[in-house]
């Protein structure tokens, strides 16, 4: 029965991946149905806390986007990139990392990818180099964002182990950022130079490569104010979490827990943005960030619920098989998280499905913190939305999927970035925790 259950879990994930988009969430729900009603397993926990955090953050970002805040941030990013165009491979991941860090979602990278591709092309730089590491940085930054659902969940899970919200960020921010910049160095040497690329030369001869120049973005009157309000809300989240968290917490019996506080601060930000910039709140429902965020909620619900249902029913077998192995080789947790995230398509879903089990297995808090970045291996299968967008926006053809599916430009920078992030986190965490 165990192997049949494994087949059901993997089958649901693979079938969902073939459906694409929110299909993996749909299929995850079907998998839970088969495991419970069909095979008699006890129902696992729904990832309600993670979903609610994603919803509240996306609600605020959606309001900011309608107010023009994202366009304003993209215009700043374009100025930075065009001011130092020769350094595009190193500046692109900084831009996408920072935007994801503040927004708590990697989908903000969508808006910057066309600019990155255009600037690289104008400079004769192979666009796949900055695009690949920019996409990877936008994914890894989730594990360092103070308002991402993944960070909030993991920090909550580790609180009983004596590691607070600030300690987690103090390790994850420098380790992930340094890893992304090191991976950018590697990405800068990948692939042929644009002038030597046969695919590019063929597309150029056919007139398929266009140079569009500077993007013309109309900045709305309330754009800057919406960004300021959102950033203030993030500062409030960090300040409040610090006051109630771990070793440095000054508030011992807080009225609001951290999760509830994040949700309420985000709703407050959305309210003030809507009121002061006078946006039509109905337009938020049609914004790209709102749609992608709600899609993420469905994916997390399906796959995390599926994972928890299977793991919760077999935790004793998992302990017997993996407990000693992880104690001897703690880095194996990073490997498990890496491959799990390639299938689960979500940092939050992967963390929700596996981190509690790792704690039950007796894995040390340092190992969990250090391995956390490995939940960001969403680049392995070339089906993730930002990865597909990068391929489509590069009309030079340099950012292309190979014949063997896995041989695409994102693999090497992604693996390097995650491996280095885990290694750096073990070192930094050993000094801080």
The pLDDT tens digits of the residues spanning 312-342 come to: 888 777 766 666 677 778 888 999 899 888 8
> Burial letters for 323-339: b for 16+ Cβ neighbours within 10 Å, e otherwise?
eeebeeebebbbebbbe
Other residues' Cβ atoms within 10 Å of the Cβ of residue 124: 10
pLDDT at 159: 85
Count Cβ atoms within 10 A of the Cβ of residue 315 and give its class: 0-12 exposed, 13-18 middle, 19 or more buried: middle
Contact 53, 152 (CB under 8 A): yes
pLDDT at 172: 96
Residue that has been written with the tokens 């001011």 in this structure: 83
Judged by DSSP in three states, 252 sits in coil
Whole-model pTM: value is 0.85
Look at phi and psi of residue 104 and say left if phi exceeds 0, alpha if psi is from -120 to 50, else beta: left
pLDDT at 423: 96
Query: 300, 301, 281: which is closest to 60 by C-alpha?
Result: 281
Residue that has been written with the tokens 């065009």 in this structure: 82
Residues of the chain with pLDDT under 50: none
pLDDT at 164: 82
Give me the count of residues in the chain. 433
pLDDT at 38: 92
Contact 50, 326 (CB under 8 A): no
Residues near 352 by Cβ (< 8 Å), separated by ≥ 6? 47, 50, 153, 300, 304, 307, 308
Contact 47, 301 (CB under 8 A): yes
* Helices and strands of the chain, counted as H and E runs: 19, 0
pLDDT in tens, 103-130: 888 878 888 888 898 898 888 899 999 9
Judged by DSSP in three states, 172 sits in helix
**Calpha distance 118→214 (Å, rounded):** 8
What are 144's two structure tokens?
A: 């360092």
H-assigned helices in 40-164 = 48-66, 69-83, 88-103, 113-122, 128-140, 149-158
**Calpha distance 256→401 (Å, rounded):** 47
> What is the gyration radius of the CA atoms in the chain, in angstroms?
21
Q: What's the CA dihedral at 336, 337, 338, 340 to 10 degrees?
A: 80
Contact 300, 58 (CB under 8 A): no
Other residues' Cβ atoms within 10 Å of the Cβ of residue 207: 7
């Amino acid at each position: 029965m165990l192997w049949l259950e494994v087949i059901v879990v993997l089958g649901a994930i693979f079938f969902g991946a073939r459906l694409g988009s929110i299909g993996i969430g749909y299929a995850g729900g079907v998998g839970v149905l088969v495991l419970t009603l069909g095979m008699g397993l006890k129902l696992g926990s729904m990832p309600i806390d993670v979903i609610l955090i994603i919803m509240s953050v996306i609600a605020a970002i959606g309001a900011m986007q309608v107010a023009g805040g994202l366009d304003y941030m993209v215009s700043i990013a374009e100025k930075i990139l065009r001011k130092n165009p020769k350094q595009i491979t190193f500046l692109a991941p900084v831009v996408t990392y920072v935007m994801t860090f503040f927004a708590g979602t990697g989908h903000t990278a969508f808006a910057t990818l066309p600019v990155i591709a255009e600037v690289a092309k104008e400079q004769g730089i192979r666009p796949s180099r900055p695009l690949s590491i920019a996409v990877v940085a936008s994914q890894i930054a989730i594990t360092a964002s103070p308002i991402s659902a993944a960070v909030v969940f993991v920090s909550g899970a580790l609180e009983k182990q004596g590691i607070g919200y600030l300690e987690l960020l103090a390790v994850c921010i420098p380790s992930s950022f340094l890893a992304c910049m090191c991976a950018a160095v590697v990405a800068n040497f990948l692939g042929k130079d644009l002038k030597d690329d046969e695919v590019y030369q063929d597309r150029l001869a056919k007139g398929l490569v266009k140079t569009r120049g500077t993007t013309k973005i109309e900045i709305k009157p309330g754009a800057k104010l919406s960004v300021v309000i959102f950033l203030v809300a993030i500062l409030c989240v960090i300040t409040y979490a610090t006051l109630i968290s771990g070793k440095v917490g000054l508030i011992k019996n807080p009225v609001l827990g951290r999760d509830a506080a994040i949700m309420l601060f985000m709703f407050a930000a959305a309210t003030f943005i809507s009121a002061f910039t006078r946006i039509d709140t109905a337009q938020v429902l049609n914004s790209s960030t709102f749609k992608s965020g709600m899609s993420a909620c469905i994916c997390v619900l399906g796959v995390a619920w599926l994972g928890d249902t299977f793991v919760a029913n077999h935790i004793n077998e998992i302990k017997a098989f993996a407990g000693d192995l992880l104690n001897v080789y703690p880095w194996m947790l990073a490997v498990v998280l890496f491959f799990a995230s390639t299938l689960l398509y979500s940092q939050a879903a992967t963390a929700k499905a596996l981190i509690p089990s790792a704690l039950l297995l007796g894995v040390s808090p340092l190992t969990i913190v250090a391995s956390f970045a490995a939940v960001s291996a969403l680049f392995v299968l070339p089906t993730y939305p930002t990865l597909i967008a990068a391929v489509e926006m590069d009309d030079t053809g340099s950012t292309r999927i190979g014949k063997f599916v896995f041989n695409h430009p994102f693999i090497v920078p992604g693996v390097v970035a995650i491996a280095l992030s885990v290694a750096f986190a073990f070192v930094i965490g050993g000094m801080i925790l």
